[in-house]
Structure 1
């Protein structure tokens, strides 16, 4: 679901970045208020970003020989609220793009719109409706399943529109597959496999939190505590240790091929925008660490990301604490 660079036209990238901006801006404003009321939200933001990042490392095989993964959009919204979840997911996506080459730099706005805006708000909205009608567990499952499929549908539409809006002499400049291919491909992968993986992870982690700290699942009046953060970190440790399991799935996710992979699929007819477009070489591309075995590199990448999120959360907590003291 991570759209790479050059699969969307520059105009599409700009439009989707503009579309995501108001939601992210509102989330920043809301979270600033929440941090003033509860500084313990800061470490939870780091935990949430880590949780989503680690879930996205677990690739699973899907029909057609490609792969997909969970995202955790609804899960984070259930744990810390949709606004904080939107920010945590955005930070995770930014780190993935710049440090690990997972998702494009120019396409970052599109990926944030699909996974950090649509997913948490749709998932939380569905979960809240079921919770009000006393079916909270069902809301967790339905909300997470629908949320990731909504993001997949958006991705399929964005990719599939490219041949219609960006072509030259009748040839697509960017993603070469139309809506009749992209939507079925994205939806088959997520309706049949990835949606259920998302629902499974969401429900299992939700049940864990329900057992260890039931009062701290997000409500507008709830407050996360240090104890809660410490308990959820055991989940992160388990995901780090198990992260190499994501390497067992062969193949590349639909629409995330390199120029060379796409060339082999199209018998060398790579669209000009992809072939000659923007190129960015991430330091730890594909979660590999130079000089290490791929499984070890995967674990080290996971640890690196979690440490970065931890440092960011400590900085946020420190800044917020200083502002509170000054006030």
Structure 2
């Protein structure tokens, strides 16, 4: 039976990648004539402004995720959606508990957005530790398969959390929307990217250990002899002071800039000479797909999970080992001398259009289980 209504459950609509992707998915499903409600366990968030007027918004206003279970159960009991889709581990646990209370477990589909075994290592609080212990035990008992955002995320769940392959499906993130494709044509704001004589390497992401910007900065120091070459890392995070100190220590203050968030990172990436993903782990790196769609040459670490799948095992652009400064420096030099084919990169990025993602998610929600990309 075709799903007529879907409730998408999230903690809130803060500026993270999962929240952004769920908003784009909700909008795309609504465009395909599904009645979509975005249910926030708490409330608010910067991505709220991106939600289509065709998507209903419900904010439960709970103080924290796990304490939201009674409110979520009450909402589901009253609204009776055909299907319930949740995202992020702690939200998945809350949604499963609420659905168990209301007899709706057969309507629930959960999604994992990151490489589970690595993501749980950086969520070290007592409650989160318990949540990451509990989640796989719930997943193994759910009637519907878990949606993973990449084959690597799926394999990790099988190899480290004892899920069975038949309990997982893979569906692409809805990275590219009509708005995204328009935004990349706007002018770049960073002065280095406005100067045709300056060659610029760009990276985008949270200034955190996961993103590996320390490796990128150290690798850039080895290619600083390339004339007029600069590095710009857009983003904010807990490692700002540490990364700024590293830039000073390597005497790169005139060559490396950490300007904070970019209002339109796609425009900045499109104006660059090279985009680099230096992550230690991901789920499926949306920013890499966005960069490819702009046509800028790209370079990525072969981290778990996603870059190898997105870049066709390194056929489309170089993949370097995680935390290998010398290998990244060598690849940076190679990319500046021999850029990758932007036409092939754009074609590959098209796999992550929002309409295709919505179709894949609809197939899972409707019970027509398929594994994307196989």
Which bracket does the TM-score occupy, shorter chain normalised? under 0.3
- In the superposition, the TM-score normalised over structure 1's length comes to 0.24
- Bigger helix share: 1
- Relative contact order, higher structure (CA 8 A, sep 6+): 1
- Bigger strand share: 2
